[in-house]
């Protein structure tokens, strides 16, 4: 294998390496995965917020029930005092009647608040259950996606390592001066060598003069494209 052939092989392997690195970047920037992860975190946060809200409502519900008990006890005491004959003063009787009505009204209002809280808790339970199922489904999907992503990541890294190893092996067997020229062109143009196809440079796609094509085909020395500067590689038949 000539130095030019090695250089062409090196170029092809660099092309593969660049492709795998791009695929790795796309995999790392997987927008669908990121959207799923964001939705998963948002659902989890909503779930946690609803659980906290339910806990607060149940705490408040217990307080309302305790208040009802207090008012019921005071209502019974006022009612008993009012009708047991121990109080005969008209003003005291009026006061007890008002107190009884106050506690009765308070109980009525508190029971309405309790019913409203129970209804809200019931709705929260339904919503929490739905979100819990959604979180579980999305979590399973994310696990599957992660497994597949890790598999692709491993495959790409193996391919990248293999290409780097092959490039290193080829470059070690190539002329150092020629390799230096090649890398200088590649760093500026993105590729250091281009195949000649139908008298056209495969790098810049410009037509190459016939005498240049013939010199390149002879293979006696390195010929560069007059337009882009890439090393020319004659089409192998």
Q: What domains are defined for the chain?
A: 13-172 (1.10.287.1700), 176-234 (no CATH)
Q: Whole-model pTM?
A: 0.68
pLDDT in tens, 15-39: 999 999 999 999 888 888 899 999 9
pLDDT tens, residue by residue, 162-187? 999 999 999 999 999 999 999 999 99
- Is the Cβ–Cβ distance between 57 and 117 less than 8 Å? yes
pLDDT reading at 237 higher than 70: no
pLDDT for 15? 95
pLDDT digit string, tens, across residues 82-140:
889 888 889 999 999 999 999 999 999 999 999 999 999 999 999 999 999 999 999 99
Q: Which of 23, 11, 19, 13 is nearest to 163 (CA)?
A: 13
Mean pLDDT of the chain: 94
């Amino acid at each position: 294998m000539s130095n030019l052939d090695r250089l062409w092989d090196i170029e092809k392997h660099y092309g593969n390496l660049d492709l795998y690195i791009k695929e790795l970047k796309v995999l790392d920037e997987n927008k669908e995965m990121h959207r799923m992860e964001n939705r998963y975190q948002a659902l989890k946060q909503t779930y946690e917020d609803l659980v906290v809200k339910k806990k607060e409502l149940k705490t408040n519900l217990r307080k309302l029930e305790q208040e009802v008990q207090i008012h019921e006890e005071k209502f019974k005491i006022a009612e008993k005092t009012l009708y047991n004959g121990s109080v005969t003063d008209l003003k005291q009787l009026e006061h007890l009647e008002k107190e009884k009505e106050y506690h009765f009204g308070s109980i009525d209002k508190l029971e309405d608040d309790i019913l409203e809280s129970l209804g809200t808790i019931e709705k929260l339970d339904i919503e929490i259950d739905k979100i819990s199922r959604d979180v579980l489904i999305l979590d399973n999907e994310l696990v599957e996606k992660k497994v597949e992503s890790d598999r692709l990541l491993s495959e790409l890294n193996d391919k990248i390592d293999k290409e780097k190893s092959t490039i290193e092996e080829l470059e070690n067997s190539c002329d150092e001066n020629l390799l230096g020229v090649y890398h200088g062109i590649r760093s500026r143009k993105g590729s250091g060598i281009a195949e000649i196809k139908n008298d056209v440079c495969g790098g810049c796609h410009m037509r190459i003069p016939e005498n240049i094509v013939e010199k390149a085909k002879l293979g006696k020395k390195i010929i560069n494209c007059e337009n882009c500067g890439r090393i020319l590689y004659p089409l192998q038949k």
